[in-house]
Each structure stands twice: as structure tokens, then as C-alpha cells.
Amino acid sequence: GKMAAAAGEELPDNQDYYGLLNVRREASQEELKAAYRRLCMLYHPDKHRDPELKTQAERLFNLVHQAYEVLSDPQTRAIYDIYGRRGLEMEGWEVVERKRTPAEIREEFERLQREREERRLQQRTNPKGTISVGIDATDLFDRYDEEYEDVPGSSFPHIEINKMHISQSIEAPLTATDTAILSGNLSTQNGNGGGSINLALRRVTSAKGWGEVEFGAGDLQGPLFGLKIFRNLTPKCFITTNLALQFSSRGIRPGLTTVLARNLDKNTMGYLQWRWGIQSAMNTSIVRDTKTSHFTVALQLGIPHSFMMVSYQHKFQDEDQTRVKGSLKAGFFGTIVEYGAERKISRHSVLGATVSVGVPQGVSLKIKLNRASQTYFFPVHLTDQLLPSAVFYATVGPLVVYFAMHRLIIKPYLRAQKERELEKQRESTASDILQKKQEAEAAVRLMQESVRRIIEAEEARMGLIVVNAWYGKFVNDNSRKNEKVKVIDVTVPLQCLVKDSKLILTEASKAGLPGFYDPCVGEEKSLKVLYQFRGVLHQVMSADNEALRIPKQ
């Protein structure tokens, strides 16, 4: 036990217990026991007389023993399966009773996680911000009208910023249930504008709801007092009520907004909204959100705006999370058709563009960049009329610019970033990899005697003999022949895993198998095996996380 604990201190974080024992993640107690016994026979210190080999055998024996101890106990195995080794070392974990079920253990672990998160939240704010810059580019298209022809000095189109909006909010958790939210915004349009600042205090009253009190003041409007209440009525239905009192020199302007929402099915929500006071209206909407699509239909009757709106978004299941969307909105203000797309351009950034064509609004191009919790929005108004040329350039222009940027700037930058991260990962794991390499070499030395016996037995029955085996990154591409081939010889460890003329490997990464280590951290690896079965030579290539069975049945 003490030996196992001592070895445990040196055990790397990424050690895969299942890989070490070469068993499936669903392995039964019998399978675990068989794998454990087999490795114990291989690594038992008493089997080796050489002092150096004996020390190495002791160390590897302890590693195997520790892996078996964790996986043979249903409680510790449940923790390890969900959270890995860090789950077993979790702060406060010693208070958990050992007689609990895996479900109770998971619950307890999540409670401890929440407590740690809450402590971390005390020291952290959560800033969110939006910057919107409206650009008037109507001179690009409307200047070709007759009325512009004789205006002197109009050889260059005049493009200007005609409106701006900046808003920022910061959340500060005061206690586990109370949060203070400070927000401010500034808006200008054609040289005139103003701003306001708001403070809201939110309290979570129970698992069913929360309440919020808001105070605000600005230079264009007087003080504001608001009260917001959220409540779950049933597990599938909730209500939100928002009361606002706007004070001004003309008196008090009250406003009340109530939203009733209900889950119609697993992916669909229905909303009913009543707004009274400032811009009174009644709105009904249905939102359906699935893994591949987002669909909204809404109808509003109100003063001054009544409209009907339908929108659809298709989500592609690709690496860049590409989405294409289209919507139609028709009402007393006219008709607007919008279409666009958005795509992830880096880990934390999403870029989107939407073309808006409306009567009487004209044609606009809206560009949006989301970077973590910050949003940058650039609506560009191109023309007041319905000009096909404006629609064409608004559609094709952003696509051409995006693909040029993606190929010339974004892709090379992401490639360089990935290389830097790989280099960093290699540096940080260099000592760990060196230790694993030494461990693997020691394991191979300890296997020599067993391998000799296995080969003799297999030769006698014309069974399975591993002639050569390599593990790592293979370069097949001629243009990359100069790249250093990062493979290691794993003939001995694979032969050692042969039992009754069969070699069975699980889906786990092969780097965790006895006698293996990772020769190229962070890169795609394969296992190449040249073997003889019933006197005939065969060759097989298998991906790192792919199960392998030799001979193939």
C-alpha cells in the first residue's frame, strides 16, 4: 500500500488506467482481474534478480496495482470515469462516505465543484459589451441619380458615420444568491445623443425564481425605477414581469411588460408577451431550436408597430459551426427580407454578415463580430431604393473579402497558433514524456523473458508472431518526406500482449499500454504491425483510438 502511494505521487496526470491494463472502459471485474494478474506476473519484483531491473519492476508493479485498486472499487471507478484522476484528488473529497452509489458520488462531486466555483465568483466580474457603429454609404449608389450629376466636387463618394452606440455591463456576485449589475450606455445620431447609467440588484429567492430592482439615470431622460420578477410556475412554464417607472418633467410614465413562456416539446418554446404603457403591444411567438436548425414565427399587434415575422437558421455540423439564415418581416412599417451567414473564425470569435432588403428602408449590409462576451456591430446603409446592384455587391463583396482573408490571414495565423501551442505542449510535457520513455524502456527490458516464452509457444503451434511493430506519426506524403518521422519500435510490448494466438487492443490511446509512450504529443498517431499468422505474413495499420483485433475474424 505504501509503495503504491509512493508511486502514485509520481504518476502523471494523463495516465490512463484502462490503457495501462489494456481493458475496455466497460470491462467486468473478471476482465480487470485477468489483466491485473497477467501484468503482475510480468512485473513482479521477485521475478527479477538484477537490482536495477528489480527497482524498475517494483515501480511498474505499483503503477499497475494502483490502476487496479481504482478500477476494481465501483465508487472510485465511478469518480475516475466521470472526472479522471483529478476527481480522486478533489479538495473536500475525504468527507464523502465510501458506501455511496455512483449517482450520489457524482452529486457530491458537483456540489463541491459548485462551492469552489462560488468562491471563485466572489473575486471575478463578468463584463459584457456592445459597440455599434452605423455607416451611411448611400452616396456609393444613390449619387448616380440625375440630381447628383451637376453637383461640383462630387467625384468621390461621401461615406460617413451617422450613429454610434456603446453599452457595457459588469456583474459582481455579492453572495451566493445576490448579484449587483452595473451597466451604462451612450448613443449618438447625426451629432446628437445622450447616455444613461443603471444599477440593478438581483436576488435568487429559490430554485423557482429571482427578483431584480433597478435604478437608472440619464441626461436625456429623468430617473428610472424598475422591478423585474422571474418565476417558474411549473417545470415546463415560467413567467417574467417587468414594471418600469420613468420620471421626467412631464410627470411619471409607467410601463409594464409580462412574458409567459411554455415548453411545447423538447425543442420548442411558445411565448406570449403583453406590453402596456410605452409602445403598447401584444406579441405571440414560437421558437423551435434543434441541433441543426433554429425556426421562429412571431405575430405582433401594437401601437405604433404591428407585424408578422418568420425566420429560419440552418446550423451546419462542421468544425467552424457555419450557420446560414433568412427572414421575412412584414408590417405597418413596410416589408424587410434578410439573409446572411455566420462562422467561427477562431476559438472565441464568430463573424457574421446579413443583407437587409426592404421597402421603404432600402438596402443595408450588417456586419457583426462576437469576441467572447464583446459584440461589435457595423450596419452599413447602402441605398434608400431597391437597387439590384446594391443587393449584388452587398452579397458578393463580403464573401470575396471573407474568403481572401480566410486564406491569406486567418488560416496561416491559426496554423501558426496551433504550432505554437503544440510546441508549448511538447515543452511542458518534455519531462513527463522523458519519464514515460524511461518507464517504457524499463518495461520492455522486463518483458524479454516473457516474450521469449510467448514466441516459443506461438512458433510451436504456428500461431501469431509480431515480426515488426511501430507506433507514432507516419509521413506518407512525398512533399513532407523531409519531416522527421516520429515513430517508436513496439514489437516486444505487442508480442507480450499476444495470448492464445490472439492480439486484442481496446479503443483507448495506445500510448498508455505497457512498453509504449507518446513519441509526438498532440499529433495524430497510428500503429503499424507486420505479423505472421499460420506461417503467412500480413500487415495492418490502425488509428490510435481504434480497437484492433489480430487475426481479423
CA distances from 552 to 85, 458, 495, 504 (A): 34, 17, 16, 10
Would you say residue 82 lies in a domain?
A: yes
Picking from 503, 540, 509, the residue whose alpha carbon sits closest to that of residue 525 is 509
Domain identity same for 90 and 164? no
CATH of the domain at 40: 1.10.287.110
Is residue 326 in some structural domain? no
- pLDDT value at residue 13: 47
C-alpha distance from residue 515 to each of 35, 275, 447 (Å): 15, 70, 9
Asked if residue 203 and residue 163 are part of one domain, the reply reads: yes
Q: What is the DSSP letter of 484?
A: P
Q: Is the pLDDT of residue 7 over 50?
A: no
State the pLDDT confidence band at 311, using cuts at 50, 70 and 90: very high
Residue 536 placed within a domain: yes
Last residue of a domain, one of 279, 298, 315: 279
Domain assignment present for residue 531? The answer is yes
Residue 474 forms part of a structural domain: yes
DSSP H stretches of helix in 123-268: 139-142
The answer to whether residue 153 is domain-embedded is no
Residue finishing a domain among 279, 312, 345:
279
* 24 and 162 within one domain: no
Cβ 313 vs Cβ 324: under 8 Å = yes
Residue 376: C-alpha distances to residues 192, 237, 247 (Å): 21, 34, 32
Q: Which of 262, 279, 296 marks a domain boundary?
A: 279
Average pLDDT over residues 257-274: 95
The answer to whether residues 442 and 546 belong to one domain is yes
Query: Is a pLDDT exceeding 70 seen at residue 164?
Result: yes
> Is 22 inside any structural domain?
yes
Residue 358's pLDDT is what?
A: 94
Neighbours of 55 (CB within 10 A): 12
Q: Which three cell numbers stand for residue 188?
A: 449618438
Q: What own/partner pairs with CB < 8 Å and gap ≥ 24 does 342-350 have?
A: 342/368, 344/319, 344/320, 345/320, 345/406, 345/410, 346/410, 346/414, 348/372, 350/321
**DSSP string over 112-148:** HHHHHHHHHHHT----EEEEEEEEE-THHHHTTSGGG
SS (H, E, C) 395-445: HHHHHHHHHHHHHHHHHHHHHHHHHHHHHHHHHHHHHHHHHHHHHHHHHHH
442: its cell numbers: 524499463
Please check the confidence at residue 94 and state whether its pLDDT lies above 60. no
In the beta sheet, which residues pair with residue 247?
252
Q: Please tell me whether residues 264 and 132 are part of one structural domain.
A: yes
Rounded CA-CA distance 94/92 in Å is: 6
| pLDDT recorded at residue 345 | 82
Indicate whether 458 and 502 sit together in one domain.
yes
Q: Identify the domain containing residue 58 by its residue range.
A: 11-94
Lookup result for grid cell 425605477: 225
How many angstroms separate the CA atoms of 185 and 129, rounded?
Answer: 10
Q: What is the pLDDT of residues 22-41, one digit of tens each?
A: 788 888 888 888 888 888 87
Residue with cell 498508455: 512
Tell me the CATH number at 255.
2.40.160.40
Q: Give residue 438's pLDDT.
A: 82
Q: Do both 82 and 132 map to the same domain? A: no
If one counts the domains in the chain, the total is 3
pTM of this prediction? 0.60
77 lies in the same domain as 175:
no
Same domain for 130 and 89, yes or no, is no
| Segment 176-180 long-range contacts (CB within 8 Å, at least 24 positions apart) | 176/118, 177/203, 177/204, 177/205, 178/202, 178/203, 178/204, 179/203
Q: What is the pLDDT of residue 184?
A: 95
Residues 89 and 136 in one domain: no
Residues 130, 258, single domain; the answer is yes
Average pLDDT of span 201-206:
92
Q: Helix, strand, or coil here: 353?
A: strand
Judge if 181 and 259 occupy the same domain.
Answer: yes
CA–CA dist 22, 498 (Å, integer): 12
* 145/312 Cα distance (integer angstroms): 36
**DSSP code of 499?**
B
pLDDT of residue 17: 83
Which pLDDT band, with edges at 50, 70 and 90, does 372 fall under? confident
The reported pLDDT for the residue numbered 236 is 92
Could you tell me which residue, 136 or 1, shows the higher pLDDT?
Answer: 136
> What pLDDT does 290 receive?
93
* Domain presence at residue 336: no
Tell me the mean pLDDT in the region 426-449: 79
Average pLDDT across the chain, whole number:
84
